[in-house]
Amino acid sequence: MNDYLIKALAFNGTIRAYAVDSTNAVAEAQRRHQVWPTATAALGRTMTAGLMMGTMLKGNEKLTVKVEGNGPAGPIVVDANANGEVRGYITHPQTHFELNENGKLDVRRAVGTEGMLTVVKDLGLRDFFTGQVPIVSGEIAEDFTQYFVVSEQVPSAVALGVLVNPDNTVKAAGGFVIQVMPGATDETITELEQKLANIEPISRMIDRGLTPEEILNEVLGTKNVEVLDKMDVTFSCNCSKERFGNAIIGLGEQEIREMIDEDGQAEAECHFCLEKYLYPKEELEGFIDEIRSQS
């Protein structure tokens, strides 16, 4: 089944909600980077959050999420856009530990408890919007909850989960974001807090095979949810040989000439999908000709 996300309202439009099944997207990142379980959980949670945040945008808008903690897994980088496309990588994918005291993957230990969560939004304007908050737990979901409250002034509850099979592949991944909008009554907020306090962990809901609609029904109550939109989401990388070629041209004639003299060629690898692009001597010399023609 394809991954998909739903956008919904609840409690007469005073609660905004998103829920996503991101299993295939996270599995593709795990496969490409050969990620070990604890790192997979960290990367998958960040990709899932990025997916939901991306679909809060419009048109061709996009964003980049960076989780830079002091743990051994290193920085996590995720790109997402308003069309439900996501890509991501974790700096040290072969990071794994024994389960924590709660019997869960020890994401906090991998990510670290100190550092920054940064969100950079490209809204098609001259300047990017950048929001940044300190990491509060390293568990990812709590850190995104903090981001929404502090950077975007939207009281939110974020749940993210990734289940990994014994062979390191991804069994299930998904999450939800619940946001309180202006006009929400104290009664609604109290009811929502009670539901969130007693809801089972998102990983268990995913493991039970619940759909995004069923997840929101469990969280908000069947009679409260009004689904506004449903969209497919997917792992997608927009790298290309032409794009990397333009980056090589940007290095200038001298550096390209050094590539030719030292290696006789150049190779570029995408951080996000690990696709490799080879530029033989003839292409590099063509780049030099292009630089000279523009000078």
Q: How far is CA 53 from CA 56, 63, 88, 147, 249, in A?
A: 5, 8, 14, 11, 34
* Location of structure tokens 């670290």: 112
Percent of the chain surpassing pLDDT 70: 100
Q: How far apart are CA 106 and CA 211, in angstroms?
A: 26
At 278, the amino acid letter reads L
Structural domain range at position 190: 4-235
What tens digit of pLDDT does each residue of 200-212 get? Answer: 989 889 889 999 9
| DSSP 3-state of 99 | coil
Residues 134 and 154 in one domain: yes
- CATH number at 276 reads 3.90.1280.10
Residues 230 and 275 in one domain: no
The average pLDDT across 8-28 equals 96
Residues 213 and 279 in one domain: no
CB 183 within 8 A of CB 15: no
Residues 280 and 254 in one domain: yes
Domain end among 235, 257, 275: 235
Q: How many domains does the chain have?
A: 2
Domain end among 235, 260, 282: 235
Backbone phi, psi, residue 248, to 5°: -65, -45
Residues 86 and 211 in one domain: yes
At 195, the amino acid letter reads K
- Cβ-in-10-Å burial (0-12, 13-18, 19+) of 110 comes to buried
What tens digit of pLDDT does each residue of 183-202 get? Answer: 899 999 999 999 999 999 89
Residues 209 and 276 in one domain: no
Nearest to 138 by CA among 48, 76, 63: 76
At 174, the amino acid letter reads G
- CATH number at 49 reads 3.55.30.10
Domain end among 187, 211, 235: 235
